[in-house]
Structure 1
Amino acid sequence: MKLLWGDLHNHCGITYGFGDLENALSVAKEQLDFCAIIGHAMWPDMPERTEGLEFLVDFHLKGFAKLRGNWEHVRETVKTWNVPHEFVTFQGYEIHSSEFGDHHVLTTSDELPLIEAGSPSELVAALAPLPVIAVPHHVSYTPGYRGANWEAFSESISPVVEVYSKHGCSMSDSSAYPCWHTMGPRDSRNTVVSAIRSGRKFGFAGSTDHHAGYPGSYGDGRVAVLATEKTRDAIWEALLARRTYAITGDKIACSFTVNGAIFGSEVKVDGRRELKLDVTGCDFIDKVSVYKNGVLWKVVNAQYAGLQQLPEPQTQGKYKVRVEMGWGDSQTGYVWQGSARLDKGQIVSVETCFRGQSVLAPTPEMRDNPDINLLGNKLIAWSEQTAEWTCTTFKNVSTRHPQTAALIFEIEGDTNSQLSIEVNGQTFTYTIGELLEGSRSAHMLPHSSEAILVHRAVPEHAYCFQGEWHDDEKERDCDAYHVEIRQTNEQYAWITPVFVIS
């Protein structure tokens, strides 16, 4: 099967988001295999327009009306961009709910009508016989406050759940990436591990929930699916089969099985459970955590976590080198024209880590801007020896919220392989041997300027992991095993459970 990358939940100017629809689809195609552009459509139990809630109510109603008025155009545009085996799109829109939590509905049908309903389950029923699923998102918010309602959760209409986005991580109340949005904090009763402990079965997904037309914006959430081919039907089959997992940004390739059954499967096992994990990351793998029924069961801490216990240098083989650009003080955008050349080696792959300007919800001072993320971020070309790209970066929003852009070069070579990076007329050259010793940075101007960072080279044995465990103990009639992968750069993967029935 093929491992494909997507974003099934993001927004733009078709409702109360920002940015052009065509540009959103274009930037999605640059970094992803599939996406769904979601319009905000309804909120059946929205609070009344009382003092202090005027802006909240008004921008929602205006956004809902905007989507209804342009629905035929939106649907036709999404349909046009769906090209099997090249780039796949899905139709969908969102229903808010204080009682049941927010969901976005998805379908393979280009005939999806825009209708209203009182709840996610009622909406799916009303859309029958079209193939439709409803994906819960930001589930860990307070019950009754647009967090999940696990008592009303239905596996039949929600085979996957969004566990990570710009809102934060909903896996547990102690997971990395807490919720800082105005919608509030996480509540342990609504977390993913709480639902798993209660016996519910679903797959994990990540998506950005980006509100400014930049699907797949790096670090905000993406979903991986294991599908037979890059088509709507094949990806849809993978979603229904729960062959999914969530990533924050880096495309961490994972395979996880129990007795040969891949993640998302239900497998009957009467005796020993044989767990196998295979990971190819994009940075130093720092920690691998295996959970059984939502409780930490096995943990592996990398010996080379941190800089004090680095492994012996790898003198030849594969390495990953991240080239990151940004910093500086530009509020309007700094354009980078970059190229790379590798001598005495081969470029095996190039992964882009491009971001859009970050918007999660409108504020009273914001004005519509269709070009907000018309940034020109693109990997123009690459070969075994060269690569060329362009991108735009901005001043970091805060010291904890970067607006940088990066590319990850997978290189086959040795310590003498030499990587030359040219950006905006300046050239910086380093050998793999130098980069194994540590990162190198340079600035474009003498002070407070944009900068480039060539990260420490990561040898293959440090970004790959294989693990095997066995378990002879049955705890429940259906035991759920899932995995969390953490890299040293704080990029994560959360792998959907294998459900073992005995």
Structure 2
Amino acid sequence: MNTYFGDLHNHCGITYGFGSLENAIKCAKSQLDFCAFTGHAMWPDMYEKAPETEFVVNFHLEGFQKLKDHWEEIRKEVAEANSADFVTFQGYEIHSREYGDHHLLSIDDELPLIYRDSPEELVNDCGKDAIAIPHHIGYTPDYRGIDWRKFNSRISPVVEVYSKHGCSMSEDAEYPYYHNMGPRDTRNMADEGLRQGHKFGFVASTDHHAGFPGSYGDGIAAVLAEEKTRESIWEAIKSRRTYALTGDRILCDFKVNDSYMGSEITANQRKIAAHVETEGVLDKIILYKNLNPYHIINGEMFQDVNKEGCYKIRVEMGWGNGALYRWNGMCRTEGGTIVDCRTYFRGRSVLAPSKDETYDADNINHIETCSERKSENEFVWRCDTVGNKSTLHPATSSVVLKVQGDLDTKVTFEINHKTYTATVGELLKYGYTSHMEYYHSQAFKIFKAVPESQYIFDFELEDSTPEKDCDIYHIEVSQKNRQWAYLSPVYVNREK
């Protein structure tokens, strides 16, 4: 299996949102393997229009009509974006106080735009191979959070457990809800759905509303699929071979008795195996059994440094004021090679329209997101950033380079005409920062290198003690930089 990364739930100007579909597709292609471009389509049980709800009701109705008026051309543009290098899916969203919000997805480019009162009716009546993914499930019941009593895993093999709204894994999970829709509710967390006996996999997506799918830190979905095709990725999603990522592309492989995450098997003897490759310093890996910690690995346990092999180096750019700022970066190695590089670009952040804010509807995220591996020794990138909204809301972008060599390998960075050179050995001890101007300016940071001995983790263990008729095993991974991975469960039935 290969691991592919995508965004299954994001918005742009095709309904209420900002930015063109054309630019959203361009941004998605720059750093994702697959994407759906979801328009807001309906809200069957929307509030009655009143003075206090007039703005909300109006912008929803206008957005729904906009999608309806342009559905055929939207569907065509998404279909034409599908290629051997980039996979697209069709889809749109239903709001619901009764069922919670879902986005309908399909592999079929002829997906019709129909209107129904529930997600199940949409899936059953659309006439195509489709699923409905619940999202921001943690809101209060009857306030667009999920109703687990009405959840149907047949139409919803996976659940979105993280997005810009926050994390829905559990009451104590990092990233609480702070959107104006309110706090997260214990009754609607993912762990409560599992506790009630539902079976589903985990995904994340951005729910970004300004035409920038995959915007870093807002959530992406990872799938384990045989190849990068619609059919293969679709099969992986429906089989729950998925996991949710907050932002960093942590590579994860998790099996019980050689069955992938998302599987349902029957066995009393369980051989559990996991492989994790982080993008930064590990905080912890937790294997849960029936939602209780079963095996924990702490990052502090790993202090050895490999004297040769691979090392990961992160460069972060941004800060300064809110003006758009262009970065031109280059990394070159001597005595070593760049074996992999990942970009983590952010767009301007918008979660939902507000009468208190105005945006350039068409050009809000016409920002640069380019990168190219010139050779095994050189990687270049170009991106735009804006200032952080607050000390708790970063808008920085970054790249992570995997360099193969030894402690004497030299790494040179040229970033906006500023140059810094250090050996891998030096970067293991110290990072580096530089400001572009003398006062309150944009800046970049080169982080300390992370050695292979501190970002690759494998473990195997056996469990021969069934606790329930169906035991649930899942893994959560956290890094010191607050980036998480939530791996879909393996469901193991007791042998009779």
Q: TM-score, normalised by structure 2?
A: 0.98
Aligned counterpart, 1:49: 49
Hey, what's the Cα distance between the residues in 2 that align with 1:312 and 1:144?
52
Instruction: Tell me the residue number matched to 1:254.
Output: 252
Name the residue aligned to 1:72: 72
Deviates more, 1:47-56 or 1:467-476: 467-476
Q: Secondary structure at the match of 1:476?
A: coil
Matches of 1:315 and 1:400, distance apart in 2:
36
How many pairs does the alignment contain?
493
Residue 307 of structure 1 corresponds to which residue in structure 2?
none
User: 1:368 Cα deviation (Å)?
Assistant: 4.8
Q: Is the 8 A contact 1:256 1:262 kept in 2?
A: yes
Residue in structure 2 matched with residue 93 of structure 1 by the alignment: 92
Paired letter, 1:82: N
Tell whether the 8 Å contact from 1:285 to 1:464 is kept in structure 2 after alignment.
no
- Structure 1 partner of 2:479: 487
Range moving further from structure 2, 461-470 or 316-325: 461-470
Tell me the CA shift for residue 296 of structure 1. Answer: 2.4
2:323 aligns with 332
Q: Distance in 2 between matches of 1:367 and 1:336?
A: 23
Among residues 178, 181, 189, which one is paired with 2:179 in the alignment? Answer: 181
2:356 pairs with 1:357: no
Question: What stretches of structure 2 of length at least 5 have no aligned partner?
Answer: none
- Deviation (angstroms), 1:159: 0.3
Equivalent in the alignment of 1:280: 277
1:301 aligns with 2:331: no
CA distance in 1: counterparts of 2:360 and 2:61, whole angstroms: 16
Mapped partners of 1:440, 1:487: distance in 2 = 21
Q: Secondary structure at the match of 1:121?
A: helix
Cα distance between partner residues in 1 of 2:167 and 2:334: 41
8 Å contact kept, 2:120–2:155: yes
Q: In the alignment, which residue of structure 2 is the partner of 1:123?
A: 122
2:275 alignment partner, SS class: strand
- Following superposition, the deviation at residue 317 of structure 1 comes to 1.2
Does structure 1 residue 375 correspond to structure 2 residue 367?
yes
Q: Does the 8 Å contact 2:253/2:275 carry over to 1?
A: yes
**Gap runs ≥5 in structure 1:** 305-309
Distance in 1 separating the partners of 2:375 and 2:178: 42
1:381 deviation in Å? 3.4
Structure 1 Cα separation of the partners of residues 271 and 431 of structure 2: 39
User: SS where residue 437 of structure 1 aligns?
Assistant: coil
Q: Which residue of 1 aligns with 2:240?
A: 242
Q: Report the equivalent of 1:439.
A: 431
1:348 paired to 2:339: yes
Match of 2:262 in 1: 264
Residue 469 of structure 1 deviates from its aligned partner by 2.3
Confirm or deny: 8 A CA contact 1:103 1:136 kept in the other structure: yes
Report the equivalent of 2:305: 313
Q: Does the 8 A contact of 2:304 with 2:453 survive in 1?
A: no
- Alignment match of 2:420 (pick from 425, 428, 441): 428
How many Å apart are 1:217 and its aligned residue?
A: 0.6
1:223 Cα shift?
Answer: 0.5
Structure 2 CA distance for aligned equivalents of residues 2 and 60 of structure 1: 39
Are the equivalent residues in 1 in contact too, given 2:286–2:294 (CA < 8 A)?
Answer: yes
Which of 149, 161, 183 matches 1:163? 161
Deviation of the 1:162 alpha carbon: 0.3
Residue 392 of structure 2: aligned partner: 400
2:197 is equivalent to residue 199 of structure 1: yes
Q: Distance in 2 between matches of 1:96 and 1:8?
A: 16
Q: Which amino acid aligns with 2:85?
A: E
Aligned to 1:221: 219
Instruction: Report the RMSD for the aligned CA atoms in angstroms.
Output: 1.1
Q: Distance in 2 between matches of 1:367 and 1:347?
A: 39
Match of 2:217, SS?
coil
Helix, strand or coil at the partner of 1:15 = coil
Q: Which amino acid aligns with 1:67?
A: L
Alignment deviations for residues 77-102 of structure 1 (CA, whole Å, 9 cap, x no partner): 0000011x310000000000001000
Q: CA deviation at 1:384?
A: 1.1
Residue pair 2:139, 2:188 contacting (<8 A) in 1 also: yes
Separation (CA, whole Å) in 2 of partners of 1:401 and 1:382:
33
3-state SS of the aligned residue for 1:125?
A: helix
Q: Is the CA contact (8 Å cut-off) linking 2:313 and 2:448 kept in structure 1?
A: yes
Following superposition, the deviation at residue 301 of structure 1 comes to 1.5
Q: 1:388 aligns with which of 380, 390, 397?
A: 380
Further displaced range: 42-51 or 93-102: 42-51
Deviation at 1:214, TM superposition (A): 0.5
Matched residues in 2 for 1:95 and 1:368: separation?
26
Q: Tell me what 2:36 maps to.
A: 36
Contact 2:316 2:445 in 1 (8 A): yes
Matching of residue 417 in structure 1 with residue 409 in structure 2: yes
**TM-score normalised by structure 1 residue count:** 0.97
Structure 1 residues 387-445: Cα deviation after superposition (integer angstroms, max 9, x where no partner): 11110011101101111111100000111111111111111112111111122111111
2:37 aligned partner, one-letter code: I
What is the rounded CA distance, in whole Å, between the counterparts of 1:184 and 1:296 in structure 2? 29
Secondary structure of 2:123's partner? helix
Q: Give the aligned partner of residue 136 of structure 1.
A: 134
**Aligned equivalents of 1:105 and 1:313: distance in 2?**
47
2:150 to 143, 146, 152: 152
Task: Give the deviation of 1:285 after TM superposition.
Answer: 1.5
Q: Aligned partner of 1:230: which letter?
A: K
**Structure 2 CA distance for aligned equivalents of residues 167 and 367 of structure 1:** 20
- Cα deviation, 1:447-467, whole Å, max 9, x if unaligned, reads 111111000100001111112
Displacement of 1:367 in angstroms is 4.1
Pairwise CA distance, 1:256: 0.4
1:422 and 1:191 map into 2 onto residues whose CA distance is 45
Once residues 476 and 342 of structure 1 are traced to their aligned partners in structure 2, the CA distance between those partners, rounded to angstroms, is 54
On the 8 A contact 1:285/1:465 being kept in 2, the answer is no
How far is the alpha carbon of 1:481 from its aligned partner? 0.4
Aligned AA for 2:278? G
Q: Determine if contact 2:304/2:454 at 8 Å carries over to the other structure.
A: no
Distance 2:135 2:374 in 1: 36
Distance in 1, matches of 2:3 and 2:11, equals 24
Contact 1:336 1:391 in 2 (8 A): yes
Q: What one-letter code is carried by the residue in structure 2 that aligns with 1:301?
A: N
Q: Which residue of 2 aligns with 1:476?
A: 468
